Amino acid sequence: MQSSLLKGIAWGSQRSYCAVLIHFAFILLANTLYIALGWHSYESGVLAAGLMLGVVVASVIAANYVYRWIELPANKLKL
């Protein structure tokens, strides 16, 4: 149990900077959709919370790809 917890923390900490970089863009996209599609008129907290949960999930997935496709190869460059 403790080993898997430490592996999860290590996995998340490696991708945390990528998540910070991309998370704000997803927040802006979600807010734009929320207003442009008229979802704000429903005054539903559940809808807004679900949208924000989707933002968190999308940010974690995107951060994983940014880490694997950009950050890891960039670390291998010899400048």
pLDDT digits (tens, 9 = 90+) for 17-72: 888 889 999 999 999 988 998 888 887 788 889 999 999 999 999 999 999 999 88
Whether 1 has a pLDDT exceeding 80, the answer reads no
For residue 75, the Cα-to-chain-centroid distance in whole angstroms is 22
- pLDDT band at residue 15, thresholds of 50, 70 and 90? confident
pLDDT at residue 36, rounded to an integer: 92
Q: Residue 53: how many CB atoms within 10 A of its CB?
A: 10
Contacts 24+ apart (CB under 8 A), 13-16: 14/67, 15/60, 15/63, 15/64, 15/66, 15/67, 16/63
